[in-house]
């Protein structure tokens, strides 16, 4: 085998989404054909923390040599064959510090960036391509600041990474939400009920608003705007009475809050390494209140509720067309930057065109729905006004 131009490493972090494997394939195909060696780092940032560079026997557990055959098979599928984690090397709890580093890093929270840097050097990495959301990519920024040649690829179902109009996984999430909500309508109609569907969206409501705009629901609730549950009940009763099949539908972002609520609804108190508690349950709360309040607006008669969290149903399975094409393009963009010797960039879609922006953008202004432009607060539904010169997904660009 001839001499390589250099070594590129790829990792995926955070939640899995359809489109990660096509992105890995896009990077690897181009890189190998340009003469680079490609390594896959398994389990995201955890792979670069847990690998013991002084123990050659454990290398295969954390580092995988990527070939065209390997990525071609995986590139048609969902998830990430490199696996993923929510590890944050800059703030690692002592309980999850690897055994071989326990004595050296004994604080309650530990910054293992020095170990990550040594592991990257030991692997001979010339460029590191990190695929993830703003939490994963904020650590990529840290490594860029430490002098590592980093290129970032945005991924998140919520589509809320600043600096890009599109994040891998978003289109499949919207597609599945529309599909599954429409399928659930048969149950709601058969029993003349309200249908409450909880979807992803911690801080940004794109995953509820766009399906509602496409006709998947009568009303939608988003994190950017608190809602009054009595008003919602009144609207849903009216929608139900207007529907010949006697049901109505509301999509609820997991981060939506009732008026007067102090915080979002969480499944428990446990936090991940980024300080996030696991969201989930606002749909349960709303469903219960709808049932209680419905007699007030329905001539004294209660309306029962079908309540469904979509959660992993929109994460699993194969990517749709957009999440097969965009990741391939993002991977190719990343190699364009490598070939030019440019690092510290986030590949992006902006105003309908592929581009890249400084990686510092991932720590910029939060990307959320512009309520004044796209959400009718009184009607709890999208605004349908001019879309002239708007991007494919309408309200997902940054001004």
Q: What is the pLDDT of residues 170-201, one digit of tens each?
A: 999 999 999 999 999 999 999 999 999 999 99
Q: What is the pLDDT of residue 112?
A: 98
Mean per-residue pLDDT, 208-230:
97
Q: Which two tokens stand for residue 144?
A: 């860029």
Q: What is the pLDDT of residue 14?
A: 95
Question: CA-to-CA distance for 177 and 251, rounded, in angstroms?
Answer: 9
Give CATH for domain 172-315+370-382: 3.40.50.460
Q: What is the pLDDT of residue 384?
A: 84
Mean per-residue pLDDT, 324-352:
96
Sign of the dihedral defined by the CA atoms of residues 333, 20, 159, 139, in that order: negative
Q: For residue 209, is pLDDT > 80?
A: yes
Which DSSP category does 265 fall into?
-
Q: Which residues of 138-159 are buried (b: 16+ CB within 10 A; e: fewer)?
A: bbbbbbbeeebbbbbbbbbbbb
pLDDT band at 277 (very low <50, low <70, confident <90, very high): low
Please name which of 320, 297, 231 lies closest in space to residue 19, comparing C-alpha atoms: 320
Question: CA-to-CA distance for 184 and 264, rounded, in angstroms?
Answer: 25
Given this chain, do its domains 7-168+319-363 and 172-315+370-382 carry the same CATH topology?
Answer: yes
Question: CA-to-CA distance for 155 and 173, rounded, in angstroms?
Answer: 12
Q: What is the pLDDT of residue 1?
A: 46
- Helix-strand-coil percent breakdown of the chain, rounded to 5? 40, 20, 40
Delimit the domains of the chain by residue range.
7-168+319-363, 172-315+370-382
CB 81 within 8 A of CB 41: no
Query: Environment class of residue 95 by beta-carbon count within 10 Å: exposed (0-12), middle (13-18) or buried (19+)?
Result: exposed
In the chain, the percentage of residues whose pLDDT exceeds 70 is 95
- The mean pLDDT value of the chain amounts to 93
Q: What is the pLDDT of residue 263?
A: 72
Q: For residue 399, is pLDDT > 70?
A: no
Q: What is the pLDDT of residue 264?
A: 66
Question: CA-to-CA distance for 216 and 181, rounded, in angstroms?
Answer: 6
Q: For residue 387, is pLDDT > 50?
A: yes
Catalytic residue among 158, 160, 165, 218: 158
Per-residue pLDDT of 291-327, as tens digits, reads 999 999 999 999 999 999 998 999 999 999 999 999 9
Active site residue 158: yes
Give CATH for domain 7-168+319-363: 3.40.50.450
H/E run at residue 40: strand 37-41
Question: CA-to-CA distance for 104 and 314, rounded, in angstroms?
Answer: 41
Q: For residue 167, is pLDDT > 80?
A: yes
Q: For residue 282, is pLDDT > 50?
A: yes
- Among 137-146, 274-283, 284-293, 349-358, the minimum mean pLDDT is found in 274-283
Mean per-residue pLDDT, 228-247:
98
Q: For residue 56, is pLDDT > 50?
A: yes
Beta pairing partners, 40? 10, 64
Question: CA-to-CA distance for 169 and 181, rounded, in angstroms?
Answer: 18
Dihedral pair phi/psi, residue 40, rounded to 5°? -100, 125
The rounded Cα 89 to chain-centroid distance in angstroms is 20
Local structure of 296: helix, strand or coil: helix
pLDDT band at 41 (very low <50, low <70, confident <90, very high): very high
Q: What is the pLDDT of residue 280?
A: 62
Place of tokens 């990495």: 125
Question: CA-to-CA distance for 333 and 310, rounded, in angstroms?
Answer: 32
Helices (DSSP H) in the chain: which residue ranges? 20-33, 45-50, 59-62, 68-74, 113-123, 134-145, 170-191, 206-213, 229-242, 282-297, 322-339, 371-374
Local structure of 218: helix, strand or coil: coil
Please name which of 244, 14, 264 lies closest in space to residue 137, comparing C-alpha atoms: 14
Question: CA-to-CA distance for 311 and 313, rounded, in angstroms?
Answer: 6
pLDDT band at 343 (very low <50, low <70, confident <90, very high): very high
């Amino acid at each position: 085998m001839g001499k390589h131009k250099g070594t590129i490493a790829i990792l995926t972090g955070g939640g899995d989404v359809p489109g990660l494997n096509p992105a890995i394939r896009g990077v690897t195909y181009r890189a190998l054909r340009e003469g680079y060696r490609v390594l896959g780092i398994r389990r995201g940032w955890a792979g670069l923390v847990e690998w013991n560079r002084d123990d050659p026997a454990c290398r295969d557990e954390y580092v995988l040599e990527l070939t065209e055959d390997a990525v071609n098979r995986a590139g048609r599928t969902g998830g990430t064959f490199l696996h993923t984690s929510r590890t944050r090397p800059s703030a690692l709890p002592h309980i999850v510090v690897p055994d071989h580093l326990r004595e050296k890093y004994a604080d309650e929270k530990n910054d293992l960036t020095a170990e990550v840097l040594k592991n990257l050097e030991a692997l001979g990495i010339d460029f590191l391509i990190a695929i993830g959301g703003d939490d994963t990519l904020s650590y990529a920024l840290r490594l860029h600041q430490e002098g590592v040649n980093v290129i970032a690829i945005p991924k998140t179902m919520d589509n809320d990474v600043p600096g890009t109009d599109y994040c891998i996984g978003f289109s499949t999430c919207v597609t599945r939400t529309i599909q599954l909500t429409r399928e659930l309508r048969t149950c709601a109609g058969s029993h003349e009920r309200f249908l409450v569907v909880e979807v992803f969206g911690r801080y940004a409501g794109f995953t509820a608003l766009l399906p509602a705009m496409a006709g998947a629901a009568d009303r939608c609730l988003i994190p950017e705007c608190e809602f009054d549950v009595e008003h919602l009940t009144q609207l849903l009763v009216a929608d139900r009475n207007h529907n010949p099949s006697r049901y109505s539908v509301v999509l609820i972002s997991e981060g939506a809050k009732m008026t007067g609520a102090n915080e979002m609804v969480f499944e428990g108190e446990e936090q991940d390494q980024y300080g996030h508690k696991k969201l989930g349950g606002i749909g349960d709360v709303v469903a219960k209140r709808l049932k209680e309040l419905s007699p007030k607006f329905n001539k004294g008669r209660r309306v029962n509720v079908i309540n469904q969290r979509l959660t992993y149903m929109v994460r699993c399975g194969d990517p749709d067309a957009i999440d097969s094409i965009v990741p391939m393009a993002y991977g190719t963009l990343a190699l364009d930057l490598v070939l030019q010797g440019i690092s510290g960039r986030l590949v992006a879609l902006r105003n309908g065109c592929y581009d890249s922006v400084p990686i510092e953008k991932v720590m910029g202004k939060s990307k959320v729905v512009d309520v004044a432009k796209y959400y009718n607060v009184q009607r709890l539904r999208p605004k349908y006004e001019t879309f002239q010169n708007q991007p494919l997904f309408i309200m997902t660009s940054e001004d």
